[in-house]
Protein backbone atom coordinates (compact mmCIF):
# COMPACT_ATOMS: atom_id res chain seq x y z
CA UNK A 1 0.00 0.00 0.00
CA UNK A 2 1.20 3.52 -0.77
CA UNK A 3 2.41 5.60 2.15
CA UNK A 4 1.11 9.13 2.67
CA UNK A 5 3.46 12.06 2.00
CA UNK A 6 1.30 14.82 3.37
CA UNK A 7 -1.01 15.48 6.30
CA UNK A 8 -3.40 18.41 6.30
CA UNK A 9 -4.17 19.26 9.91
CA UNK A 10 -7.28 21.42 10.12
CA UNK A 11 -6.58 22.59 13.65
CA UNK A 12 -9.79 24.56 14.17
CA UNK A 13 -12.73 25.79 12.13
CA UNK A 14 -12.74 29.08 14.02
CA UNK A 15 -11.88 31.86 11.57
CA UNK A 16 -12.14 35.65 11.62
CA UNK A 17 -12.89 35.65 7.88
CA UNK A 18 -16.23 34.80 6.31
CA UNK A 19 -15.30 33.95 2.73
CA UNK A 20 -18.21 32.51 0.80
CA UNK A 21 -15.83 30.28 -1.20
CA UNK A 22 -14.74 28.46 1.98
CA UNK A 23 -14.42 24.70 1.60
CA UNK A 24 -15.07 24.03 5.29
CA UNK A 25 -18.12 21.85 5.98
CA UNK A 26 -21.56 23.38 6.45
CA UNK A 27 -22.00 21.66 9.83
CA UNK A 28 -19.26 23.72 11.48
CA UNK A 29 -20.70 23.12 14.93
CA UNK A 30 -20.07 19.37 14.72
CA UNK A 31 -16.32 19.97 14.95
CA UNK A 32 -16.09 22.20 18.00
CA UNK A 33 -14.71 19.54 20.33
CA UNK A 34 -11.16 20.22 19.18
CA UNK A 35 -8.18 17.97 19.80
CA UNK A 36 -5.97 19.10 22.66
CA UNK A 37 -2.31 20.07 22.28
CA UNK A 38 -1.22 16.62 23.43
CA UNK A 39 -3.60 14.91 21.03
CA UNK A 40 -2.37 16.90 18.02
CA UNK A 41 1.23 16.26 18.98
CA UNK A 42 0.53 12.53 19.14
CA UNK A 43 -1.11 12.73 15.71
CA UNK A 44 2.02 14.43 14.29
CA UNK A 45 4.26 11.80 15.86
CA UNK A 46 2.20 8.98 14.38
CA UNK A 47 2.11 10.76 11.02
CA UNK A 48 5.91 11.00 10.93
CA UNK A 49 6.14 7.30 11.81
CA UNK A 50 3.74 6.53 8.97
CA UNK A 51 6.08 8.25 6.51
CA UNK A 52 4.49 11.71 6.27
CA UNK A 53 7.03 14.37 5.20
CA UNK A 54 4.89 17.47 4.97
CA UNK A 55 2.52 18.92 7.51
CA UNK A 56 0.05 21.58 6.42
CA UNK A 57 -1.41 23.54 9.33
CA UNK A 58 -4.72 24.97 8.32
CA UNK A 59 -8.30 25.50 9.46
CA UNK A 60 -10.31 27.73 9.71
CA UNK A 61 -7.55 29.98 10.87
CA UNK A 62 -4.78 27.94 12.52
CA UNK A 63 -3.54 31.00 14.42
CA UNK A 64 -6.76 30.86 16.44
CA UNK A 65 -5.13 27.97 18.28
CA UNK A 66 -3.24 29.37 21.25
CA UNK A 67 -0.87 26.42 21.12
CA UNK A 68 0.21 26.93 17.50
CA UNK A 69 3.85 27.58 18.46
CA UNK A 70 4.02 24.38 20.54
CA UNK A 71 2.45 22.41 17.72
CA UNK A 72 4.94 23.75 15.18
CA UNK A 73 7.85 23.09 17.50
CA UNK A 74 6.79 19.49 18.03
CA UNK A 75 6.36 18.88 14.30
CA UNK A 76 9.71 20.48 13.58
CA UNK A 77 11.44 18.24 16.12
CA UNK A 78 9.98 15.26 14.28
CA UNK A 79 11.64 16.49 11.09
CA UNK A 80 8.36 17.35 9.37
CA UNK A 81 8.25 20.18 6.83
CA UNK A 82 5.72 22.60 8.28
CA UNK A 83 3.51 24.86 6.19
CA UNK A 84 1.20 27.41 7.85
CA UNK A 85 -1.86 28.25 5.73
CA UNK A 86 -3.20 31.49 7.16
CA UNK A 87 -5.31 34.56 6.57
CA UNK A 88 -2.57 36.49 8.37
CA UNK A 89 -4.97 37.63 11.08
CA UNK A 90 -3.39 36.80 14.41
CA UNK A 91 0.20 36.87 13.14
CA UNK A 92 1.72 39.58 15.30
CA UNK A 93 5.44 40.29 15.08
CA UNK A 94 5.98 38.52 18.38
CA UNK A 95 4.05 35.42 17.32
CA UNK A 96 5.80 35.34 13.96
CA UNK A 97 9.19 35.44 15.70
CA UNK A 98 8.11 32.62 18.01
CA UNK A 99 7.00 30.54 15.04
CA UNK A 100 10.28 31.23 13.26
CA UNK A 101 12.20 30.10 16.33
CA UNK A 102 9.98 27.01 16.59
CA UNK A 103 11.13 26.03 13.10
CA UNK A 104 8.13 26.84 10.91
CA UNK A 105 9.30 26.29 7.33
CA UNK A 106 6.81 28.16 5.20
CA UNK A 107 3.93 30.60 5.30
CA UNK A 108 1.10 30.60 2.81
CA UNK A 109 -0.92 33.79 3.05
CA UNK A 110 -4.42 34.00 1.63
CA UNK A 111 -5.24 37.00 -0.57
CA UNK A 112 -8.78 37.89 -1.61
CA UNK A 113 -8.14 40.80 -4.02
CA UNK A 114 -5.71 43.63 -4.79
CA UNK A 115 -8.21 46.31 -3.79
CA UNK A 116 -8.90 47.01 -0.15
CA UNK A 117 -12.64 47.49 -0.48
CA UNK A 118 -13.20 44.37 -2.56
CA UNK A 119 -10.82 42.31 -0.45
CA UNK A 120 -12.59 43.24 2.77
CA UNK A 121 -15.95 42.61 1.13
CA UNK A 122 -14.98 39.10 0.01
CA UNK A 123 -13.42 38.30 3.40
CA UNK A 124 -16.44 39.72 5.22
CA UNK A 125 -14.15 41.60 7.60
CA UNK A 126 -11.44 44.27 7.39
CA UNK A 127 -8.28 42.29 6.67
CA UNK A 128 -6.58 43.74 3.58
CA UNK A 129 -4.19 46.04 5.43
CA UNK A 130 -3.21 43.37 7.93
CA UNK A 131 -2.32 41.02 5.08
CA UNK A 132 0.04 43.63 3.62
CA UNK A 133 1.78 43.96 7.00
CA UNK A 134 1.99 40.18 7.38
CA UNK A 135 3.47 39.79 3.90
CA UNK A 136 6.30 42.15 4.87
CA UNK A 137 6.79 40.40 8.19
CA UNK A 138 7.11 37.01 6.52
CA UNK A 139 9.80 38.32 4.17
CA UNK A 140 11.62 40.16 6.96
CA UNK A 141 11.88 36.99 8.98
CA UNK A 142 13.39 35.20 6.00
CA UNK A 143 10.55 32.86 5.14
CA UNK A 144 9.64 32.20 1.55
CA UNK A 145 6.26 33.84 0.87
CA UNK A 146 3.50 32.09 -1.00
CA UNK A 147 0.29 33.96 -1.72
CA UNK A 148 -2.78 31.87 -2.15
CA UNK A 149 -5.66 33.35 -4.12
CA UNK A 150 -8.93 31.53 -4.59
CA UNK A 151 -10.42 32.73 -7.87
CA UNK A 152 -14.10 33.25 -8.50
CA UNK A 153 -16.54 35.49 -10.31
CA UNK A 154 -15.83 38.48 -8.03
CA UNK A 155 -12.03 38.61 -8.32
CA UNK A 156 -11.01 36.79 -11.48
CA UNK A 157 -11.07 39.99 -13.54
CA UNK A 158 -8.46 41.45 -11.20
CA UNK A 159 -5.70 38.90 -11.76
CA UNK A 160 -3.49 41.48 -13.40
CA UNK A 161 -3.68 43.75 -10.34
CA UNK A 162 -3.29 40.79 -8.00
CA UNK A 163 -0.09 39.73 -9.79
CA UNK A 164 1.27 43.28 -9.58
CA UNK A 165 0.52 43.32 -5.88
CA UNK A 166 2.28 39.98 -5.48
CA UNK A 167 5.37 41.43 -7.19
CA UNK A 168 5.32 44.44 -4.87
CA UNK A 169 5.00 42.10 -1.89
CA UNK A 170 8.02 40.16 -3.24
CA UNK A 171 6.13 36.90 -3.14
CA UNK A 172 8.18 33.89 -4.16
CA UNK A 173 5.15 31.93 -5.27
CA UNK A 174 1.57 32.72 -6.02
CA UNK A 175 -1.10 30.14 -6.35
CA UNK A 176 -4.12 31.23 -8.37
CA UNK A 177 -6.61 28.49 -7.76
CA UNK A 178 -10.07 28.47 -9.19
CA UNK A 179 -12.67 27.64 -6.56
CA UNK A 180 -13.46 24.01 -5.82
CA UNK A 181 -17.12 23.77 -5.01
CA UNK A 182 -16.98 22.02 -1.65
CA UNK A 183 -18.64 23.11 1.59
CA UNK A 184 -19.71 26.77 1.59
CA UNK A 185 -18.36 27.19 -1.93
CA UNK A 186 -20.75 24.46 -3.03
CA UNK A 187 -23.67 26.44 -1.65
CA UNK A 188 -22.46 29.53 -3.50
CA UNK A 189 -21.50 27.83 -6.75
CA UNK A 190 -24.01 29.66 -8.95
CA UNK A 191 -22.71 33.05 -7.81
CA UNK A 192 -19.01 32.10 -7.76
CA UNK A 193 -18.56 30.30 -11.07
CA UNK A 194 -16.91 32.68 -13.57
CA UNK A 195 -17.96 32.91 -17.20
CA UNK A 196 -15.94 31.40 -20.03
CA UNK A 197 -15.03 34.88 -21.19
CA UNK A 198 -13.67 35.79 -17.76
CA UNK A 199 -11.57 32.63 -17.70
CA UNK A 200 -10.10 33.18 -21.13
CA UNK A 201 -9.07 36.71 -20.18
CA UNK A 202 -7.57 35.45 -16.92
CA UNK A 203 -5.58 32.70 -18.60
CA UNK A 204 -4.09 35.16 -21.10
CA UNK A 205 -3.00 37.45 -18.25
CA UNK A 206 -1.46 34.54 -16.33
CA UNK A 207 0.42 33.28 -19.35
CA UNK A 208 1.86 36.72 -20.12
CA UNK A 209 2.92 37.13 -16.49
CA UNK A 210 4.58 33.71 -16.44
CA UNK A 211 6.63 34.67 -19.50
CA UNK A 212 7.49 38.09 -18.11
CA UNK A 213 8.44 36.98 -14.60
CA UNK A 214 10.33 33.81 -15.53
CA UNK A 215 11.74 32.28 -12.36
CA UNK A 216 11.37 35.47 -10.27
CA UNK A 217 7.95 34.39 -9.07
CA UNK A 218 6.52 30.92 -9.46
CA UNK A 219 2.95 31.30 -10.70
CA UNK A 220 0.76 28.27 -10.21
CA UNK A 221 -2.56 28.43 -11.98
CA UNK A 222 -5.10 25.81 -10.97
CA UNK A 223 -7.58 25.25 -13.77
CA UNK A 224 -11.28 25.40 -13.02
CA UNK A 225 -12.41 21.84 -13.46
CA UNK A 226 -15.93 22.80 -14.52
CA UNK A 227 -14.43 24.11 -17.75
CA UNK A 228 -12.07 21.17 -18.26
CA UNK A 229 -12.62 18.19 -20.49
CA UNK A 230 -11.37 15.75 -17.88
CA UNK A 231 -11.65 15.84 -14.09
CA UNK A 232 -8.75 16.77 -11.86
CA UNK A 233 -6.73 13.94 -10.32
CA UNK A 234 -8.25 14.74 -6.97
CA UNK A 235 -5.81 14.25 -4.06
CA UNK A 236 -3.66 12.25 -6.52
CA UNK A 237 -6.05 9.42 -5.85
CA UNK A 238 -8.26 8.68 -2.85
CA UNK A 239 -6.17 7.77 0.22
CA UNK A 240 -3.07 7.43 -1.90
CA UNK A 241 -0.65 10.22 -0.98
CA UNK A 242 -2.26 12.46 1.61
CA UNK A 243 -5.01 12.74 4.14
CA UNK A 244 -6.68 15.20 6.50
CA UNK A 245 -7.43 15.30 10.20
CA UNK A 246 -10.21 17.74 11.07
CA UNK A 247 -10.54 19.76 14.32
CA UNK A 248 -12.35 17.07 16.34
CA UNK A 249 -9.92 14.35 15.33
CA UNK A 250 -11.84 12.65 12.53
CA UNK A 251 -9.57 11.48 9.74
CA UNK A 252 -10.62 11.95 6.13
CA UNK A 253 -9.03 11.00 2.81
CA UNK A 254 -9.58 14.59 1.63
CA UNK A 255 -10.53 17.86 3.31
CA UNK A 256 -13.99 17.86 1.74
CA UNK A 257 -14.91 14.24 2.46
CA UNK A 258 -17.15 14.99 5.45
CA UNK A 259 -20.23 14.85 3.23
CA UNK A 260 -19.15 11.70 1.44
CA UNK A 261 -18.78 9.91 4.77
CA UNK A 262 -22.18 11.16 5.86
CA UNK A 263 -23.76 10.11 2.57
CA UNK A 264 -22.27 6.62 2.72
CA UNK A 265 -23.21 6.35 6.40
CA UNK A 266 -19.65 5.35 7.16
CA UNK A 267 -18.84 6.35 10.74
CA UNK A 268 -15.75 8.54 10.66
CA UNK A 269 -12.60 7.11 12.20
CA UNK A 270 -11.21 9.33 14.94
CA UNK A 271 -7.59 9.68 15.99
CA UNK A 272 -8.98 9.61 19.51
CA UNK A 273 -9.88 5.95 19.06
CA UNK A 274 -7.51 4.64 16.43
CA UNK A 275 -3.88 4.94 15.43
CA UNK A 276 -3.12 6.77 12.20
CA UNK A 277 -1.59 3.58 10.87
CA UNK A 278 -4.85 1.70 11.39
CA UNK A 279 -6.82 4.56 9.86
CA UNK A 280 -4.60 4.74 6.80
CA UNK A 281 -4.56 0.99 6.22
CA UNK A 282 -7.93 -0.19 7.51
CA UNK A 283 -10.51 2.56 8.03
CA UNK A 284 -13.58 1.83 5.86
CA UNK A 285 -13.76 5.39 4.48
CA UNK A 286 -10.12 5.21 3.35
CA UNK A 287 -10.66 1.82 1.71
CA UNK A 288 -13.89 2.85 0.00
CA UNK A 289 -12.40 4.44 -3.14
CA UNK A 290 -8.80 3.32 -2.94
CA UNK A 291 -7.44 1.83 -6.15
CA UNK A 292 -9.80 1.32 -9.08
CA UNK A 293 -12.03 -1.64 -8.09
CA UNK A 294 -14.86 0.78 -7.14
CA UNK A 295 -14.91 2.51 -10.50
CA UNK A 296 -17.99 2.41 -12.69
CA UNK A 297 -17.84 2.82 -16.44
CA UNK A 298 -16.74 4.95 -18.24
CA UNK A 299 -13.82 5.16 -15.73
CA UNK A 300 -13.30 1.41 -15.40
CA UNK A 301 -12.39 0.94 -19.06
CA UNK A 302 -10.79 4.38 -19.51
CA UNK A 303 -7.10 4.65 -20.28
CA UNK A 304 -6.97 7.81 -18.14
CA UNK A 305 -7.98 6.05 -14.92
CA UNK A 306 -4.36 6.13 -13.71
CA UNK A 307 -4.15 9.84 -14.62
CA UNK A 308 -7.24 11.32 -13.00
CA UNK A 309 -8.38 8.44 -10.74
CA UNK A 310 -12.03 8.98 -11.64
CA UNK A 311 -11.90 12.61 -10.49
CA UNK A 312 -13.31 14.01 -7.29
CA UNK A 313 -15.49 11.76 -5.10
CA UNK A 314 -16.81 14.72 -3.16
CA UNK A 315 -17.86 16.50 -6.32
CA UNK A 316 -19.57 13.34 -7.60
CA UNK A 317 -21.49 13.14 -4.33
CA UNK A 318 -22.34 16.84 -4.21
CA UNK A 319 -23.72 16.82 -7.74
CA UNK A 320 -25.31 13.38 -8.04
CA UNK A 321 -25.89 12.18 -4.48
CA UNK A 322 -23.71 9.13 -5.20
CA UNK A 323 -19.98 9.37 -4.42
CA UNK A 324 -19.22 6.34 -6.60
CA UNK A 325 -20.31 7.99 -9.87
CA UNK A 326 -17.81 9.29 -12.39
CA UNK A 327 -16.99 12.93 -11.60
CA UNK A 328 -19.63 14.83 -13.63
CA UNK A 329 -16.92 17.26 -14.77
CA UNK A 330 -15.64 14.60 -17.18
CA UNK A 331 -17.16 15.06 -20.63
CA UNK A 332 -17.63 11.28 -20.75
CA UNK A 333 -19.57 11.13 -17.47
CA UNK A 334 -23.23 10.10 -17.65
CA UNK A 335 -24.02 13.04 -15.34
CA UNK A 336 -22.04 15.64 -17.31
CA UNK A 337 -25.32 17.41 -18.06
CA UNK A 338 -25.31 18.74 -14.47
CA UNK A 339 -22.05 20.59 -15.09
CA UNK A 340 -23.24 21.77 -18.51
CA UNK A 341 -26.33 23.25 -16.86
CA UNK A 342 -24.17 25.15 -14.33
CA UNK A 343 -21.97 26.43 -17.17
CA UNK A 344 -24.99 27.52 -19.18
CA UNK A 345 -26.24 29.51 -16.18
CA UNK A 346 -22.82 31.10 -15.64
CA UNK A 347 -22.64 32.13 -19.29
CA UNK A 348 -26.22 33.29 -19.64
CA UNK A 349 -26.19 36.87 -20.97
CA UNK A 350 -29.07 37.56 -18.57
CA UNK A 351 -26.98 36.52 -15.55
CA UNK A 352 -27.04 39.32 -12.96
CA UNK A 353 -23.61 40.88 -12.43
CA UNK A 354 -23.87 40.49 -8.71
CA UNK A 355 -25.60 37.59 -7.04
CA UNK A 356 -26.10 37.15 -3.31
CA UNK A 357 -23.42 35.14 -1.54
CA UNK A 358 -23.82 33.22 1.68
CA UNK A 359 -20.91 34.07 3.96
CA UNK A 360 -19.33 31.29 5.94
CA UNK A 361 -20.37 32.04 9.52
CA UNK A 362 -18.12 32.29 12.54
CA UNK A 363 -18.04 29.17 14.63
CA UNK A 364 -18.13 29.36 18.38
CA UNK A 365 -15.54 27.31 20.22
CA UNK A 366 -16.42 27.20 23.86
CA UNK A 367 -20.10 26.80 24.41
CA UNK A 368 -22.52 24.70 22.47
CA UNK A 369 -24.92 26.58 20.28
CA UNK A 370 -26.48 25.77 16.98
CA UNK A 371 -25.38 27.31 13.74
CA UNK A 372 -28.25 27.09 11.30
CA UNK A 373 -27.29 24.46 8.79
CA UNK A 374 -28.84 24.67 5.36
CA UNK A 375 -30.52 21.37 4.62
CA UNK A 376 -28.86 19.53 1.78
CA UNK A 377 -29.32 16.05 0.42
CA UNK A 378 -26.26 16.39 -1.75
CA UNK A 379 -28.32 16.43 -4.90
CA UNK A 380 -30.44 19.48 -5.39
CA UNK A 381 -29.92 23.12 -4.73
CA UNK A 382 -31.18 24.12 -1.34
CA UNK A 383 -33.66 26.76 -0.40
CA UNK A 384 -32.15 29.10 2.10
CA UNK A 385 -33.82 30.68 5.03
CA UNK A 386 -33.35 34.39 5.61
CA UNK A 387 -31.30 33.61 8.73
CA UNK A 388 -28.78 31.72 6.70
CA UNK A 389 -28.69 34.31 3.99
CA UNK A 390 -27.59 36.88 6.54
CA UNK A 391 -24.94 34.45 7.73
CA UNK A 392 -26.18 34.64 11.26
CA UNK A 393 -24.12 32.28 13.36
CA UNK A 394 -26.13 31.72 16.48
CA UNK B 1 12.32 17.23 -2.48
CA UNK B 2 9.80 19.22 -0.53
CA UNK B 3 8.22 22.45 -1.65
CA UNK B 4 5.25 24.15 -0.04
CA UNK B 5 2.53 22.08 -1.64
CA UNK B 6 4.30 19.31 -3.45
CA UNK B 7 6.64 16.45 -2.86
CA UNK B 8 8.95 15.74 -5.79
CA UNK B 9 10.16 12.17 -5.77
CA UNK B 10 13.45 12.08 -7.62
CA UNK B 11 14.57 9.07 -9.60
CA UNK B 12 18.15 7.82 -9.23
CA UNK B 13 19.57 10.09 -11.93
CA UNK B 14 17.71 13.13 -10.59
CA UNK B 15 19.00 12.39 -7.12
CA UNK B 16 22.55 12.06 -8.48
CA UNK B 17 22.30 15.54 -10.00
CA UNK B 18 20.85 17.13 -6.85
CA UNK B 19 23.56 15.54 -4.70
CA UNK B 20 26.21 17.26 -6.77
CA UNK B 21 24.57 20.69 -6.49
CA UNK B 22 26.64 22.13 -3.67
CA UNK B 23 26.70 25.84 -4.66
CA UNK B 24 30.31 25.43 -5.88
CA UNK B 25 30.09 23.13 -8.87
CA UNK B 26 28.97 24.52 -12.22
CA UNK B 27 26.52 22.72 -14.50
CA UNK B 28 29.45 21.72 -16.73
CA UNK B 29 31.35 20.28 -13.79
CA UNK B 30 28.30 18.34 -12.65
CA UNK B 31 27.80 16.95 -16.16
CA UNK B 32 31.45 15.92 -16.27
CA UNK B 33 31.22 14.12 -12.93
CA UNK B 34 28.05 12.34 -13.99
CA UNK B 35 29.76 11.13 -17.15
CA UNK B 36 32.08 9.24 -14.83
CA UNK B 37 29.11 7.59 -13.10
CA UNK B 38 26.68 6.93 -15.94
CA UNK B 39 27.05 5.48 -19.43
CA UNK B 40 25.49 8.46 -21.15
CA UNK B 41 24.78 12.02 -20.14
CA UNK B 42 23.19 13.96 -22.99
CA UNK B 43 24.26 17.58 -23.51
CA UNK B 44 21.78 19.89 -21.87
CA UNK B 45 20.14 17.26 -19.65
CA UNK B 46 21.61 18.55 -16.42
CA UNK B 47 20.95 22.14 -17.42
CA UNK B 48 17.26 21.55 -18.20
CA UNK B 49 16.73 19.45 -15.04
CA UNK B 50 18.29 22.11 -12.80
CA UNK B 51 16.49 24.92 -14.64
CA UNK B 52 13.15 23.22 -13.98
CA UNK B 53 13.91 23.02 -10.26
CA UNK B 54 15.05 26.65 -10.19
CA UNK B 55 11.78 27.72 -11.83
CA UNK B 56 9.93 25.82 -9.13
CA UNK B 57 12.07 27.58 -6.50
CA UNK B 58 13.25 24.18 -5.31
CA UNK B 59 16.82 25.29 -5.97
CA UNK B 60 18.65 28.59 -6.19
CA UNK B 61 21.56 29.56 -8.37
CA UNK B 62 24.65 30.66 -6.45
CA UNK B 63 26.36 33.52 -8.24
CA UNK B 64 29.34 33.44 -5.90
What are the mean pLDDT values of chain A's consecutive 10-residue runs (394 residues total)? 94 97 94 97 98 96 98 98 97 98 97 97 97 98 96 96 97 94 93 94 96 89 90 89 96 92 91 97 94 91 91 92 93 95 93 89 62 49 37 36
pLDDT top residue among A82 and B5: A82
- For residue A188, what pLDDT is reported? 95
pLDDT top residue among A387 and B21: B21
B8 Cα to chain A: minimum distance (Å): 10
Residue B2 has pLDDT above 60, yes or no: yes
| Nearest 10 degrees: Cα torsion A155, A156, A159, A160 | -100
Is the CB of A6 inside 8 Å of chain B's CB atoms? yes
- For residue A394, what pLDDT is reported? 34
Residue B9 has pLDDT above 80, yes or no: yes
Asked if the Cβ–Cβ distance from A215 to B57 is below 8 Å, we say: yes
Q: What is the pLDDT of residues B30-59, one digit of tens each?
A: 998 888 888 888 878 888 899 888 887 788
A315 Cα to chain B: minimum distance (Å): 22
Interface probe, candidates B1, B5, B56, chain A, greatest A C-beta count within 10 A: B5
Is the CB of A53 inside 8 Å of chain B's CB atoms? yes
Measure CB to CB from residue B4 to each of A53, A146, A215 and give the nearest one: A146
Chains A, B: CB pairs < 8 Å: 29
Is the CB of A160 inside 8 Å of chain B's CB atoms? no
Pick the closest to residue A243 from A109, A28, A54, A24 (CA basis): A54
- For residue A176, what pLDDT is reported? 96
Burial of A266 (0-12, 13-18, 19+ CB in 10 A): middle
- CA gap A34, A234 in Å, rounded: 27
Burial of A317 (0-12, 13-18, 19+ CB in 10 A): buried
CB A246 within 8 A of CB A10: yes
In chain B, where the domains are located: 2-55
User: What are φ and ψ of residue B3, in 5° steps?
Assistant: -130, 170
- For residue A374, what pLDDT is reported? 57
Give Cα separations from A156 to A150, A161, A201, A353 (angstroms). 9, 10, 9, 13
**In A51-195, alpha helices (H):** 68-77, 93-101, 116-123, 128-140, 159-168, 183-187, 189-192
Residue of A nearest to B53 (CA): A215
CB A325 within 8 A of CB A333: yes
- CA gap A192, A154 in Å, rounded: 7
- For residue A365, what pLDDT is reported? 63
Is the CB of A148 inside 8 Å of chain B's CB atoms? no
- For residue A368, what pLDDT is reported? 43
- CA gap B4, A243 in Å, rounded: 16
Burial of B37 (0-12, 13-18, 19+ CB in 10 A): exposed
B5 Cα to chain A: minimum distance (Å): 8
- For residue A391, what pLDDT is reported? 37
In B, what residues contact A, Cβ < 8 A?
A: 2, 4-5, 7, 54-57
- For residue B37, what pLDDT is reported? 86
Residue of B nearest to A219 (CA): B56
A341 Cα to chain B: minimum distance (Å): 33
Residue of B nearest to A109 (CA): B4
Is the CB of A106 inside 8 Å of chain B's CB atoms? yes
CB A313 within 8 A of CB A239: no
Tell how many helices (H) and how many strands (E) occur in chain B: 3, 2
Amino acid sequence: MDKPYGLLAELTYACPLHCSYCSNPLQLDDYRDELTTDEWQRVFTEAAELGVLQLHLSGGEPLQRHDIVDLVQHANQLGLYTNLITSGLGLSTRRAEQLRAAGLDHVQLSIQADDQELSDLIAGTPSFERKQVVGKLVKQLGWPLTLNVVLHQQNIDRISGILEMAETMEADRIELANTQYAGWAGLNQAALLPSREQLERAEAVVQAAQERLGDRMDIIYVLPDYYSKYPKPCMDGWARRQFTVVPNGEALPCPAAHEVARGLKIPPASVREHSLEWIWEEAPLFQQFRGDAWMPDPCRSCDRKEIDYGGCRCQAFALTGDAARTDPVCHLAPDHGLVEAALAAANDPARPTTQPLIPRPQVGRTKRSTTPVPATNGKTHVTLSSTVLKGKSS
Amino acid sequence: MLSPETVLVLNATGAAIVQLCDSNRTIAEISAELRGQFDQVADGDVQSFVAALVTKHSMEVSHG
